[in-house]
Structure 1
């Protein structure tokens, strides 16, 4: 069970990192206009979700 949990935690962490990288690229290097509060909320929400899943 610990191995399965570790794999799930790893998948969640990697997917969170990928999401944050994509969000940062969209915000910094494209002409897509993401409002700053939405950008900040997405970052905070993603980090909180990853921490919640990996800590439980």
Structure 2
């Protein structure tokens, strides 16, 4: 199953400045955190990490 934001992430990764902001946001993820807040340009996104097994429940 594809993640809902996969197409958006692909678009972001094509642009070097946005790619760097995305990677900064992912690098700021703490070990116990399950969510990352990203600010890219004037838009804000929340990435939530879930266990793929919990999606089938």
Structure number with the higher strand fraction is 2
Larger radius of gyration between Structure 1 and Structure 2? 1
TM range (shorter): 0.3 to 0.5
Q: Which has the higher contact order (CA 8 A, sep 6+)?
A: 1
- Give me the TM-score of the superposition, normalised by structure 2: 0.33
Q: Whose helix proportion is higher, 1 or 2?
A: 1
